[in-house]
Chains A and B, each alone.
Chain A
Amino acid sequence: MNSTGLSRENDAETPSSGGHRTVAASLSVSGLSVHYRDFTAVGGIDLEIPEGEITALVGPSGCGKSSFLHSLNRLTDLIPGCRVAGSIRLSDGTEVTHPKTDVLSLRRRVGIVFQRPNPFPQSIRRNFEIPLKEHGWRKRDIPDRMETVLREVGLWNEISDRLHKSAIALSGGQQQRLCIARALALEPEVILFDEPCSALDPIASGVVEDLIHSLRGRLTVVIVTHNLAQARRIADRAAVFWVRDGIGTIVEHGPAERVFTAPSNPDAASYLSGARG
């Protein structure tokens, strides 16, 4: 059994599998804005998110990082009164913001992990069965799929003997890795992380960070973090959010190396040097 990774070769696709993913996808965002009723939280975003790389989004609290992140897989649909304008294009041409786009399969392709671990308060096994069944995995394939991803996040040895026990009995760090495994189980092309470590202790946080780092090259990762050191350690690219005229926007982006060492925008520079934020 392969314990280190999912294969990404371009296998023969099952015709019925509806855009079955075999490679990571890139995202290209242009002219994006997110509105909550009359309030514009985020505006004027243009960003290329290359495939297989880790893109870190940083910036002070309330500048719209989560709003932007949630618009990438239309989780903004859940909030009454929230509207997204502009374009987000996946590399196969799918327009995320288009109203006719099938959001359910979009969200399978663009997975998300939240700040607070949110396993379903049911057995660990059910946590995989529910979403996998929803996306058409056959019942007999589910145990293998679950084992693969649990190994991948390093949980298999810790919990393989209590798969029938409640997921909320796990520690916070374990729960978060379970949530990552659950997202990975759906074979996403892009995975979004919204401050995945900020509810965890330093050790668990390190484990999760390594895990995210290990995804590099195999799928596209977008991560929001307040931990600049962490962003520096794992990111290939970085984007700095800042509130300008009351609207959150990206003031600086590019290769992480350059953004962190030689930012050209003064706000970004002061934020990154720890002066503000």
Chain B
Amino acid sequence: MTPPTPRARPVAPVWLDRALAFAGATAALLSFGLFAWLVWDLARLGLPRISWTFLTGEIEDAGRSGGIGPLLVSTLLILVCCLALVIPLGTGCALWLSEFVRRGSLAARLVTGGVDLLASVPSIVFGLFGMVFFGQTLKMGFSILSGGLTLACMILPILVRTTLSALEALPADLRPASAGLGLTRTTSIVKLLLPAALPGIVVGITLGIGRALSETAALIFTSGYSIRWPSSFWDSGRALSVHIYDLTLNVPQSGAMASSTALVLLALILVVNSAAVALSEHWLRRRHQTS
């Protein structure tokens, strides 16, 4: 017969629990504190300057004073170019992956693999690529067009992934149902699948915009540094993020202006990303209600 085994101590060490709780709380507080500090600094330095004239005025004294009007326009135009390419390309690719090839087939695996690899490419490399491909080979030079198209390549994986998951999340009986009605594949895609997947696509686009807005490295060699009001897509134009970079790197005593610009940029991104979150939550809730 085995005697009951002796045990050294009655129960679990409380100190480990305490230590974990303490370390965890410290870490949580630390990360929150650091980010609060960052936002606080930007607001303290940048907020006083923000006004209507700042948002619409031209850059003066290399950026030490004046506004950011032309930059907002350039940024917007870059986004327009970017979306004009990425929306058809991204949704098209996702549609092909979900509707025209079997999942797990070689072609599908190659394309998704390519897209995933694309997502891993550092943004500065997109910059180099855009410079030589759009700028030189396609002769766009330093232009808003070139910058926008480069960004399109960069955010393409985001759009493909979100659209694909939106399409895959559609009810499985939608496709046989439309086939049963004798709809052609094109009709079924345009009239049924795309509208049904639209919320997901919109979320993907919104996320992509957020990412594009925050990008700097891909733009410094493509859309360039010009601070004039852009008059066409072929002009060079400086994006907000590039402005922050340039001020910090090249213009002494411009911290306050950089902070104001950063604050505007952050506000834009915050709005865009919150919209994405709100949209996807709204969409999820509706799906749960209807299903």
Contact = CB atoms under 8 A, between A and B. Distances in A.
Do the two chains bind? Answer: yes
Interface residues of A, number: 29
A169 B175 CA distance: 39
Most chain A beta-carbon contacts within 10 A, residue among B2, B3, B5: B5
B78 to A, nearest CB: 48
A20 B2 contact: no
Interface stretch (B6-14, B45-53, B126-134, B209-217): B6-14
Contacts of B1: 2, 5, 7, 9
A145 B3 CA distance: 10
Contacts of B7: 14, 16-17, 20, 135-138
A12 B6 CA distance: 10
B190 to A, nearest CB: 46
Contacts of B6: 14, 17, 138, 141
Interface in B1-32: 1-12
Interface in A43-63: none
A100 to B, nearest CB: 14
Nearest to B3: A11
A26 interface: no
A137 B10 CA distance: 9
B9 A144 contact: no
Given A18-B10, A136-B10, A7 B4 contact: yes
Contacts of A20: 4, 7
Nearest to A103: B11
B5 A145 contact: yes
A137 B5 contact: yes
A76 to B, nearest CB: 20
A141 B1 CA distance: 16
Contacts of B4: 6-7, 11, 20-22, 187
15 contacts: A2-B1, A7-B3, A7-B4, A9-B3, A11-B4, A14-B7, A17-B10, A19-B10, A102-B11, A104-B11, A105-B11, A134-B11, A136-B11, A144-B2, A144-B5
